[in-house]
Structure 1
Amino acid sequence: MSRRPAALTAAAAVTGALALTGCSDSGTSKAELSVSGSYMPQPVSADMAAGFLTITNKGGTKDELTAVRSEAAGQITMHSTLGGEMRERSSFAIPAHGRLVFRSGGNHLMFEQLRHRPKQGQTVTLKLTFAKTGPLTVEMPVKSATYHPTTGN
């Protein structure tokens, strides 16, 4: 038996191992979601409030925000605003290596049927649900009713 087949077998094994390593879950092949810039302006209404945040995806796969829940509200709906027209949405795409921004005058969350009226300085806990990634819990600070962020959103 010659050494050549053994050398080829070893080379094939190393090549196969490298190929598998390339296919392993190195963090870039899935969505990597994080939340920043979250806030709720202190509600002026006793039963409704708005919420804003940015979801960043550093991963190589897109995901989708499919639901938002909080003990602070009976329900939370997601809306987009285009050309001055507000539309309720059942989900929002979060592109690979991209961001989903909820900001005043654009995409936003509506807290409906508030169980209590959050005050400036308090926080509201949210659970964000995604199509592919596990849920994220977010502590959303309540800011003044006139708060407008200068960075982040």
Structure 2
Amino acid sequence: MSARPSRAVRRPLAAVACGAALTLALGACSSSGDDGGAGGGKGTASDSSRPQLKISGAYVPQPPTDKMAGGFLTVRNSGGTADELTSVSSDVAGEVEIHRTVKQRMEKVDSLRVPAHGTLTLGRGGNHLMLMDLEHKPVKGQTVTFVLHFAESGSVTVKAPVEATNYTPEK
């Protein structure tokens, strides 16, 4: 009697091996972040440990002057590693500054942290974006494009509607 498995046994084993190889190959090619957010591009076997960013609630209140405007949005990180918002550019501003508010005072900062499994909120009275050197005054109904640059997740483009000057988003 031979120690080799019969053909009936070898074929199912080959099929299992091919199926496992195909699953691994497809998994390596898939992109994390199919929701349009950031976090793909540097995929690993354990993407849950990478930052997984999703941007929501972006808007720009119509500014009272044509000099500067504010920008607001929320960055949610469902990944297991923190990220950092390091810079922002816009199609309507010569410069976009990242500001934080400490004891009711605004101060320009180089970056803001997006915690693992957490949220960075840019909103009225708190951390926010300042659009400086406006090319034109954004008016209600228009859209402002932001490019958010993150230390780990790269760049993310966000379209923000221009809302009324006194607009307050629903919570």
Report the TM range for the smaller structure's normalisation.
0.7 to 0.9
Measured in 2, the distance between the counterparts of 1:56 and 1:98 equals: 6
Measured in 2, the distance between the counterparts of 1:133 and 1:25 equals: 16
- Aligned residue in 1 for 2:124: 104
The number of residues matched between the two structures is 128
Runs of 5+ unmatched residues, structure 1: 1-23
2:57 to 32, 37, 40: 37
1:127 Cα shift? 0.3
1:122 to 117, 129, 142: 142
- Aligned residue in 1 for 2:46: 26
Equivalent positions of 1:4-153 (< 5 A) are 25-151=45-171
Stretches of 4+ aligned residues off by more than 4 angstroms:
none
RMSD of Structure 2 on Structure 1 (CA) = 0.9
Runs of 5+ unmatched residues, structure 2: 1-43
Q: Quick one: percent identity of the two aligned structures?
A: 47
Measured in 1, the distance between the counterparts of 2:120 and 2:76 equals: 7
Measured in 2, the distance between the counterparts of 1:135 and 1:25 equals: 22
TM-score (norm 1): 0.81
Indicate the structure whose relative CO is greater, using CA pairs within 8 Å and at least 6 residues apart. Answer: 1
